[in-house]
A and B are shown apart, each in its own frame.
Chain A
């Protein structure tokens, strides 16, 4: 209380001549030019407001924003296109993989009747879904028709084509298929049992390699997206350096400083993801017609798969997430750099 009185007395001792109107000096205002064009109200506590402000900040530099978004879109679209291409090939491969066949080439000594009785026997087996016999006569006729070497066969005098039984196994695993093939090879009269699956396996392992390449490329380009967004946010932090320093001095928390930049990063991620999706759809549309024609040649009713709702959502969420991370890292680094010691 005594303290308070002291102060009061001190204040009263102030001379009245201090009551002077503040003169406005014109010279003080002529130095710098106000940057009214870029003036934006600072971000309030309200998240939606902050998001809108961050968006309108992006719009103040439309060319730079567009360029960044384009880079992000391309970086996201490249693995995206490869991924959907892979998905389509897998879809085709899966439809073939469904019915592997085993071709049983009979000994030449086995005549059509013996082959026929073997095929009837095989029909009774539970692990075979279908059995088809191509008799020696049929085989010869087919060969004659397809090869045009009919006359040569006339001179041979004897039919060189063995009977072939094609079996379609019931659904089973690869190991079981190989076991079945070996079993069938043991059947009397069978010269060779050929599992018509080797190429499917080759395709599958090729797809596996392709998948890894796409994943690797995806990781590399995701890192690029992260770096591009991080760097873009860093530039926008630099341009608001003064504001951040003042905000920190009047008691802004790190998260308060961080928030608008997180929205900036999220916007970049979102817009990049959206445009990336657009690029992917465009690329698929462009290759759709040639693919259809190609499929038509193989009498295959094949239709190109787009990204689909789930993959689209994933793509956009992922790139938004990358934007958040990139911005987070950029702001955190900056905040640490302005911290004393």
Chain B
């Protein structure tokens, strides 16, 4: 589903964030991406999202070589992917429900259909009762779960999460990880960047380790 072929990414600053990274993630597979801060985890995620382009090498998502996608095609590429950000990135000028329906409105769902799907997604993360609230009134863990609901509401083939448990206590982190496992069980390919080694090791899921931009371990 996701394949990196000798990918290197050099930022304009001259800093090489990724060096010769190669790996493949099968359809429906789940993996953790670990590494110290600045190892290049976010950069790798951005390459999959086409928020950045690789300097060398090629990235494939579902047999599509991303180098072959132009500006106009990027939005449609992104619709196949759900993303959860480190800092949840919710909009505080609208309700939880409206935050979650955003990707559906963008994809052109009718408001009724979007509403149904958004409620289903909120139900999955256990926040259906808070749909009418402003996300600012929610706890950090709840906000993160709203972010997850928004990432999966349009049933993406791939789910990316960049440090989704970054600022949560261990219990909440585990709760969130369980959600990801749940989505993966339903067939979504999941890639999670995290440096919470304790948590990852308990999960016993495939682990890709980055070390200074190089893939140090895979397994």
Chain A residues in the interface with B (C-beta under 8 A): 3-4, 7-8, 10-11, 13-15, 17-18, 20, 22-25, 28-29, 32-36, 38-45, 242-243, 245-254, 256, 339-341
Residues of chain A within 8 A of B103, CB atoms compared = 250-251
Contact A11 B185 (CB under 8 A): yes
Could you write out 8 A-B pairs with CB less than 8 Å apart?
Answer: A7-B29, A20-B175, A22-B141, A29-B137, A29-B139, A44-B111, A249-B49, A252-B106
B140 within 8 A of A: yes
The SS class assigned to the A binding surface is: loop
Q: Is the CB of A15 within 8 A of B202?
A: yes
Q: A28 touching B108 by the CB < 8 A rule?
A: no
Given contacts A22-B175, A32-B92, contact A10 B204 (CB under 8 A): yes
Instruction: Judge if B178 is at the interface, Cβ distance under 8 Å.
Output: yes
Query: Which chain A residues border B94 with CB–CB below 8 Å?
Result: 39-42
Chain A positions within 8 Å of B5 at CB level = none
Cβ-based interface call for B117 (8 A): no
Q: Would you call B29 and A246 a contact (CB within 8 A)?
A: no
Within 8 A of A (CB), among B182-216: 182, 184-185, 187, 202-205
Within 8 A of A (CB), among B68-107: 71-72, 75-79, 82-83, 89, 91-95, 98, 102-103, 105-107
A253 B139 Cβ-Cβ under 8 A: no
| Cα separation A44 to B104 with both chains bound (whole Å) | 10
Q: Report Cα–Cα, A34/B95, bound state, in Å.
A: 10
Asked if B139 contacts A22 (CB within 8 A), the reply is yes
Chain B residue, CB-CB nearest to A253: B75
Q: Is the CB of B134 within 8 A of A25?
A: no
Q: Say yes or no: A18 contacts B174, CB within 8 Å.
A: yes
Known: A10-B30, A243-B91, A251-B106. 19 other contacts (CB 8 A): A7-B184, A14-B181, A14-B203, A18-B175, A28-B143, A32-B136, A33-B136, A34-B137, A35-B93, A36-B134, A39-B95, A43-B105, A44-B105, A242-B89, A247-B106, A250-B78, A250-B106, A253-B106, A340-B53
CB distance from A7 to the nearest CB of B (A): 6
Q: Are A246 and B102 in contact (CB under 8 A)?
A: yes
Q: Measured between alpha carbons, how far is A104 from B5 in the docked complex, in Å? A: 99
Residues of A within 8 A of B203 (CB): 10, 13-14
Contacts of B51 in A (CB 8 A): 249, 340
* With A42-B94, A250-B103, A251-B76: A34-B134 Cβ-Cβ less than 8 Å: yes
Query: What is the count of residue pairs linking A and B with beta-carbon distances less than 8 angstroms?
Result: 137
Establish whether residues A249 and B92, one from each chain, have CB atoms under 8 Å apart when the complex forms: no
- Residues on B with C-beta less than 8 A from A28 are 138-140, 143
Which of A11, A32, A242 has a CB less than 8 Å from the CB of B181? Answer: A11
Which residues does chain A contribute within 8 Å of B123, judged by CB atoms? none
Contacts of A254 in B (CB 8 A): 71-72, 75
The residues of B that contact A248 with a CB separation of less than 8 Å are 75
Closest residue of chain B to A22 (Cβ to Cβ) is B141
Q: In chain A, what residue has the closest Cβ to B50?
A: A340
Q: Report the separation of the CA atoms of residues A20 and B141 in the bound assembly, to the nearest whole angstrom.
A: 12
Give the chain B neighbours of A32 by CB distance below 8 A. Answer: 92, 136
A11 CA / B180 CA spacing, docked (Å): 10
**Contact (A3, B28) CB under 8 Å given A25-B139, A41-B98, A246-B89:** yes
Closest Cβ–Cβ distance, residue B177 to chain A (whole Å): 8
Residues from chain B with a CB closer than 8 A to the CB of A17 are 174
Q: List A contacts of B30 (CB < 8 A).
A: 7, 10
A259 to B: closest C-beta gap in Å: 11
A245-B90 Cα distance, complex, nearest whole Å: 11
The complex places the Cα of A45 from the Cα of B171 at a distance, in Å, of: 40
- When distances are taken between beta carbons in the complex, the residues of chain A under 8 Å from B175 are 18, 20, 22
Nearest chain A CB to B219 CB, angstrom units: 13
Q: Mark B30-55, 1 if CB is under 8 A from A, else 0.
A: 10000000000000000001011100
Contacts of B218 in A (CB 8 A): none
Bound Cα distance A113, B92 (Å): 101
Q: How far is the CB of B138 from chain A (nearest CB, A)?
A: 7
